[in-house]
């Protein structure tokens, strides 16, 4: 079962495609942390473009046309979900050196 999903809708708000992943590659994890840190100094338009680019990269084969037809809240929630997971590094008991 996929942990990360994003639905793409048509003009009638019907789901026409679903992107899904069950894992976060380490490089994407690092990229999410980097973007999260940079967002504060950016304009709202720049923030949206950065998150959009990240989500397209996250799913690998997502097109710009597809992400334009995703729900805005779902796109932002997906990014937040990845960042939340990144913020838990070091807090989990199975991390090397953690008690």
Plot region of 11 (φ>0 → left; ψ -120 to 50 → alpha; else → beta): alpha
Give a yes or no: residue 17 inside a domain: yes
Residue 75's pLDDT band, with cuts at 50, 70 and 90, is very high
Give a yes or no: residue 13 inside a domain: yes
Tokens at residue 9, please? Answer: 């809708």
Pairing of strands 4-9, 15-21: antiparallel
Give a yes or no: residue 98 inside a domain: no
**Residue 14 φ/ψ, nearest 5 degrees:** -100, 140
Q: Does the pLDDT at position 99 exceed 50?
A: no
Give a yes or no: residue 92 inside a domain: no
Asked whether the whole model's pTM tops 0.85, one would answer no
Give a yes or no: residue 97 inside a domain: no
Give a yes or no: residue 55 inside a domain: yes
Give a yes or no: residue 99 inside a domain: no
Q: Which range marks the domain in which residue 52 is found? A: 4-87
- Total structural domains in the chain? 1
> Region 38-49: what's the mean pLDDT?
94
Q: Which has the closest alpha carbon to 54: 73, 70, 76?
A: 76
How many angstroms separate the CA atoms of 20 and 96, rounded?
A: 29
């Amino acid at each position: 079962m996929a942990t990360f999903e994003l639905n793409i809708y048509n003009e009638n708000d019907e789901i026409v495609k679903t992107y899904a992943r069950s894992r976060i590659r380490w490089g994407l994890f690092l990229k999410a942390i980097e973007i999260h840190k940079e967002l504060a100094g950016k304009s709202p338009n720049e923030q949206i473009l950065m998150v959009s680019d990240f989500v397209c990269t996250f799913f690998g084969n997502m097109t710009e046309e597809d992400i334009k037809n995703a729900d805005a809240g779902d796109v932002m929630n997906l990014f937040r979900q990845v960042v939340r997971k990144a913020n838990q590094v070091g807090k989990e008991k199975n991390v090397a050196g953690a008690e």
